[in-house]
Amino acid sequence: MRDSIIMTKYQGFGNDYLVLDANKNQLQLQGKKIALLCQRGFGLGADGVLYGPVEINGKMGMRIFNSDGSEAAISGNGVCIFAKYLMDNEYVKEKKFAIETLSGTIEVECLNARATEFRVNMGKASFLSKEIPVTGEIREVIDEPFTFKGKEYKATCLTVGNPHCILFMDQVTPEKVKELGPYVENAEEFPEKVNLQICRQIDKGNLDIEIWERGSGYTKASGTGSCAAAIAAYKKGLMENRINVNQPGGMIQIDIKDDGTIFMTGTVGYIADVSVAESFFS
């Protein structure tokens, strides 16, 4: 079709992304156009856009955009999706490889022949306020009182390359995270905004979460959100080191090593190649 751009749509546990291949399309990505493209009414609909392969720090990498057009340093489902894209398009032939992101080098291992299962080394978390960031004196933000929408909550905050706020509750519902999400995401305590997960512990190996993503809003799954909820519960001494994180889109398995390194196991589904009007990029 004349004047169109080919993008490839994938989903990880219902967290859906459009991949824009930088080698096949020489174009400028603009935040507002990405936002329009991601809209589920005026555009194609997606939780974000992955742009690559591009060179980051001299290595093969990808850039990650949320559905509001903002750029994120890391996305767990995004890494699994891009890993599949690289294999599907023969950019990589090995089962183990690395993808460079703005939050560093992410090691990926493909676990099956169909390239739909991936194990990702998401690195270590930091609970230090200045690294997340969270305003106030330098401290680890664990079970700290915050007031959101006039009510006090105990929050555990951390970064896994992107910032997360975890609120442990006796009950987690989409309604609750949609009520709190926009407020917490933009609270003044978080200078770079924040991803919110509300979290219920089922037992020492299972959590339930609902997600409000910075820059994308309510999503069915989040790789970094699953890592963040799991490591926060583990840090509080609630969990064993293999944690199943249940969320609306499915269950993401998190493994925490003795040195604190976090591994996530994700699945990816190919949805479609789509021919997109060039007007979304001009």
Ligand X SMILES: N[C@H](CCC[C@H](N)C(=O)O)C(=O)O
**Which parts are annotated binding residues for substrate?**
15, 66, 76-77, 162, 195, 213-214, 223-224
Amino acid found at 117: E
251-256 contacts: CB < 8 A, separation 24 or more?
252/13, 252/76, 252/221, 252/223, 252/226, 254/226, 254/227, 254/230, 256/230, 256/231
Query: Interface with ligand X includes 223 (CB under 6 A)?
Result: yes
Query: Interface with ligand X includes 224 (CB under 6 A)?
Result: yes
Residue number with CB closer to ligand X (87 or 194): 194
- Residue-wise DSSP of the chain: -TTEEEEEEEEETTEEEEEEETTT------HHHHHHHH-TTTS---SEEEEEEEEETTEEEEEEEETTS-EES--HHHHHHHHHHHHHTTS--SSEEEEEETTEEEEEEE-STTS-EEEEE----B-BTTTTT-SSSS-B-SSEEEEETTEEEEEEEEESSSEEEEEE-S---HHHHHHHHHHHHT-TT-TT--EEEEEEEEETTEEEEEEEETTTEEES--HHHHHHHHHHHHHTT---SEEEEEETTEEEEEEE-TT--EEEEEE-EEEEEEEEEGGGT-
> Segment near ligand X (CB under 6 A), from 69-77, 136-144, 145-153, 269-277?
69-77
Query: Interface with ligand X includes 222 (CB under 6 A)?
Result: yes
User: What residues between 170 and 189 interact with ligand X by CB under 6 A?
Assistant: none
Count of residues touching ligand X (by CB under 6 A): 17
Query: Contacting ligand X (CB under 6 A), which of 8, 11, 66, 201?
Result: 66
> Segment near ligand X (CB under 6 A), from 18-26, 76-84, 125-133, 151-159?
76-84
Residue number with CB closer to ligand X (73 or 277): 73
Is residue 53 within 8 A of residue 61, CB to CB? The reply is yes
Query: Contacting ligand X (CB under 6 A), which of 35, 44, 72, 209?
Result: 72
> Segment near ligand X (CB under 6 A), from 28-36, 129-137, 170-178, 211-219?
211-219
Residue number with CB closer to ligand X (128 or 277): 128
Q: What is the closest distance, in whole angstroms, from the C-beta atom of residue 192 to ligand X in the complex?
A: 9
Query: Contacting ligand X (CB under 6 A), which of 103, 129, 216, 247?
Result: 216
Residue number with CB closer to ligand X (178 or 204): 178
Query: Interface with ligand X includes 267 (CB under 6 A)?
Result: no
Query: Contacting ligand X (CB under 6 A), which of 43, 181, 215, 249?
Result: 215
Q: What is the closest distance, in whole angstroms, from the C-beta atom of residue 38 to ligand X in the complex?
A: 12
Query: Interface with ligand X includes 103 (CB under 6 A)?
Result: no
List interacting residues with ligand X (CB under 6 A): 15, 66, 72, 75-78, 162, 195, 213-216, 222-225
